[in-house]
Structure 1
Amino acid sequence: MRKHLFLWLGVFMYSSGLLAQASPYYKGGLKVDFDEDGKKYLRIISWAQFHAVYSDAEAASNPSFKVRRARVLMFSQINEKFLILSHFGLNSLSSTTMSPTGKEEGSQLFFHDVWAQYKILPDHVIGGGLHYFNGISRLNNQSTLNMLTLDNNRQSWSTLGLADQFARHVGVFAKGKFGKLQYRIAINDAIVNSLDTRDAMNGEAVYAGTRLLGSKEAGKVYAGYMDFHFLDQESNFLPFKVGSYLGGKKVFNVGAGFFLHPQGAAILDGAEIKGEDVKILAADIFYDTPLSDNGSALTAYGVFQSNFYGTNYLYSAYGTGNMMYGHFGYVLPGTLEKIRFQPYLAYAVNTYDAVDDNRTVFSLGTNTYLSGNNSKLTLEYQHQKFGDTKLGTVTLQAMIYL
């Protein structure tokens, strides 16, 4: 692994220099105004992330390549009170998910978000559809355009595929702010065909209450997140939380959130299937600030999360127990017109009631910004340990969004 890490680092630094010579400065996306004051418009944003991966996994083909994300997001309003948003694309297209003629499931585009909203007061909005106004934590509402790390902390998308479709629910939401306090709350339908396809068991819950007990018993979920903005105010126009401002703002937020799915888990009690409430609570802190006039900046984040998915629940990366996660990044001095570097590290500890072992995830990487967050390269080494299983991965990512 060490030999490959140094080789990839050399490729990464060489590629950075080549791409920087031709990298234009992007901003704003494509916006089409339909009136003179710009209040009636259509805005389109597109982005793509490409990965080259080297892994310790026995079945891995090294290096392997994949399109991590290819997305198009559009939103439009006819006046300041009404807005409609559509977001579609695909994820993790690789040799194992491609199909010969591009017609199978892994090759297909699908809607990530489709919602409409109405402004009822200057700072308060209600809406509905397939949406991303999630509860729990900042990272459960993370944008994929400007993450500090290579990707989001996987366990922070806390119900992905278990109660929702790719971290999105169909339901209604309200969002807004009272001074420096921002909020988002939602009531949603829970997915029936979740990733947890197991039958009910004795002594161990499965997250399949909607399927096994019926939507009447376990069909609704409730979520919310609030954060207090002590310094600069972040925009809450869209639900996607920024990962790193690269010193463009001075932000210090403290937040807390929840997720409740009554009877969302199912467990056998003798021959009878009974439901258990899924309850997730979290508190987090986010700090992003310029350090001087030379372009250096600091980004830091930490979260503590209590997860109850049912008695002794453990499935994939998710389990009843606690999670602690944090990351830290430092932007080296520079300007938007030049290449900027941002080394970072991240660490997560997940404890599970069902087993004595903890899951730990350590990540160390560097972002090379060719044109701010609009064009960057990321090189990351990640090491995961859970029981006797250890996995090391080196990933090089190229990303552009317009």
Structure 2
Amino acid sequence: MKIVLALLLLISSVAMSQVKLTDDNNKSDIRYSLNPSGYHYVKFTFTNQVWFRLNDNNPGTTVLSDPASQTFDIGLRRTRLQLFGQITDRIFFYTQFGLNNFNKTNGFPGYNTAGTPSNRKVAAFFHDALGEYEVQRKGNSFIRFGGGLTIVNGLSRFSQPSISTIMTMDVPIFAQATADQTDQFSRKLAVYSRGQIGKINYRISVADPFPIETNGAVPPALNANSVFAQKKHKKQFDGLFIYNLFDTEDNTTPGYTTGTYLGKRKILNIEAGFIAQKNALWRKEGVDTLYSNMNLWSIASYLDMPVNKEKGTAVSAYLGYFHTDYGKGYLRYNGSMNPATGTTLPITGVSGTHGNAYPMFGTGNVIYSQAGYKFKDGLLGSQGTLMPYASLQYSDYDRLWDPVLLYNLGVNWLMKGHNGKLTLNYENRPVYKNSTLSNELQKDMRKGSWILQYQVSI
């Protein structure tokens, strides 16, 4: 990390006399021009998201071995540095370095790592490191090929989100289907092509997934329910196709899709995506080991446009349907930056049920929607404006007797667009317990979480 920071400081010092501050989507740029037109450039960005959270924990939750029905924690949800640029008319590179989910339990044995001793100083890593070559460009249409460690993949726009422009406080993580299982925080080693052909934006890739054994936790044991396989490793195929009815979206960085443009563009899209991998999961049936293909696909629509350009009001909305087939009985709990470390009331057949976790991933079907409204610019005078929002997730997974109904209500205080914003969010989630009647889990109660997020991004 010291080497990366030293390089960034060197670039910044060299470029200081040529720094350009531009305003696109209320986001300032720090860039060094490599030619007089500025088309060739190197750009640096920084984003930091701090969470202040009060969480009602799942029953039986412990924090560092102490019982905890409720927790208050402070953490870094995401801290990222990006360095990327257009070196020639055809050559582009992109790197991203940072950490995620850094709170007091980060690195705790059995939580984020499988071994001892624990180390809270090993969380930062390269998220992306890739190179691209543009083979064709005509107006706004282009075709590029690239490869490396990348988030370019399929399924949906929320499978590859631009985290600094999220409208809701956080993204629907279920859409990052293999997060930290066979990828590196949604990134994969892949070769890909992306481009804009008329009204159609596309990205397709062939990835070499990471073995489940290298994700830092003990892999789930082979059992009657599907889990990621430790043998018969195969390549993964991904694709996302977006039809732009009005304006085209920003295509600068590979894969990343904007959360909201805050009314700066008129966007209405229809999209469809998929992720497919042969023999991705396995399970035990009697004495036989059976393999399952992973087949995930989605269809969705995304709207983000101004209501009144003069006043600066805008709306943003998304509605998507996801079919998630991980194999028979697959179910995985997850909780964002989980504030807890264990439980005295485990649920049979699943792990990580403590803290704020809920059944996030599973075989079944998901409907996800979100909507927000940006009030006029200057609503709070020189202090910016507000953008309230709501999101709803309905997940009907095979292993659940009662579907997941998860909702979030919140408001963004946009001090300077996405550069500086404060978000207050309330999340309400279901809590499950073992069923005495079948392999399925039954809903027991509901729990909530209040989160205040402060984002600084440049």
TM-score range, shorter chain: 0.7 to 0.9
- Residues 102 and 123, structure 2, Cα contact 8 Å, conserved in 1: no
Quick one: distance in 1 between partners of 2:70 and 2:448? Answer: 14
Deviations 1:180-207 (A, max 9, x none): 00100000011102467112213x1112
Any idea what SS the aligned residue of 2:164 has? Answer: coil
Deviation at 1:302, TM superposition (A): 0.8
* Residue aligning to 2:238: 223
Quick one: distance in 2 between partners of 1:119 and 1:312? Answer: 43
* Residue aligning to 2:222: 200
Deviations 1:101-156 (A, max 9, x none): x9925643101101111111110000000001110011111110011110001212
* Residue aligning to 1:283: 299
Q: 1:301 aligns with which of 311, 314, 318?
A: 318
Deviation at 1:60, TM superposition (A): 6.1
Select between 264-273 and 299-308 the one with higher mean Cα deviation.
Answer: 264-273
Quick one: distance in 1 between partners of 2:69 and 2:193? Answer: 44
Q: Provide the TM-score with structure 1 as the length reference.
A: 0.87
Quick one: distance in 2 between partners of 1:223 and 1:163? Answer: 14
Quick one: distance in 2 between partners of 1:157 and 1:48? Answer: 21
Quick one: distance in 1 between partners of 2:189 and 2:92? Answer: 17
Deviation at 1:338, TM superposition (A): 4.8
Pairwise mapping of residues 24-39 of structure 1 onto structure 2 (< 5 A)? Answer: 27-39=27-39
Code of the aligned partner of 1:34: L
* Residue aligning to 2:46: 46
Gaps of 5+ in 2: 1-22, 62-67, 109-116, 334-359, 432-442
Any idea what SS the aligned residue of 2:227 has? Answer: coil
- Residues 162 and 196, structure 1, Cα contact 8 Å, conserved in 2: no
* Residue aligning to 2:127: 112
Distance 1:63 1:199, change over 3 A: closer
- Residues 150 and 188, structure 2, Cα contact 8 Å, conserved in 1: yes
* Residue aligning to 2:208: 189
Quick one: distance in 1 between partners of 2:27 and 2:185? Answer: 28
Query: How many residue pairs are counted as aligned between the two chains?
Result: 369
Deviation at 1:268, TM superposition (A): 1.7
Distance 1:166 1:60, change over 3 A: farther
State the superposition RMSD in angstroms.
2.0
Q: 2:404 aligns with which of 348, 359, 364?
A: 359
1:401 aligns with 2:457: yes
* Residue aligning to 1:141: 160
Any idea what SS the aligned residue of 1:199 has? Answer: coil
* Residue aligning to 1:379: 424
Quick one: distance in 2 between partners of 1:388 and 1:221? Answer: 37
Quick one: distance in 1 between partners of 2:368 and 2:121? Answer: 31
Q: 2:375 aligns with which of 313, 329, 332?
A: 332
Deviation at 1:363, TM superposition (A): 0.5
Quick one: distance in 2 between partners of 1:332 and 1:83? Answer: 37
- Residues 250 and 258, structure 2, Cα contact 8 Å, conserved in 1: no
Q: 1:170 aligns with which of 177, 189, 208?
A: 189
Q: 1:97 aligns with which of 91, 106, 117?
A: 106
- Residues 93 and 107, structure 1, Cα contact 8 Å, conserved in 2: no
- Residues 196 and 315, structure 1, Cα contact 8 Å, conserved in 2: no
Quick one: distance in 1 between partners of 2:86 and 2:243? Answer: 28
Select between 109-118 and 337-346 the one with higher mean Cα deviation.
Answer: 337-346
Deviations 1:204-233 (A, max 9, x none): 1112x2x2x2xxx33311100001000111
Code of the aligned partner of 1:327: Q
Deviation at 1:162, TM superposition (A): 2.3
Any idea what SS the aligned residue of 2:259 has? Answer: coil
Gaps of 5+ in 1: 1-24
Aligned-residue sequence identity (percent) comes to 27
Quick one: distance in 2 between partners of 1:338 and 1:178? Answer: 41
1:78 aligns with 2:100: no
Code of the aligned partner of 2:192: F
Select between 151-160 and 222-231 the one with higher mean Cα deviation.
Answer: 151-160
Quick one: distance in 1 between partners of 2:165 and 2:118? Answer: 31
Code of the aligned partner of 2:199: K
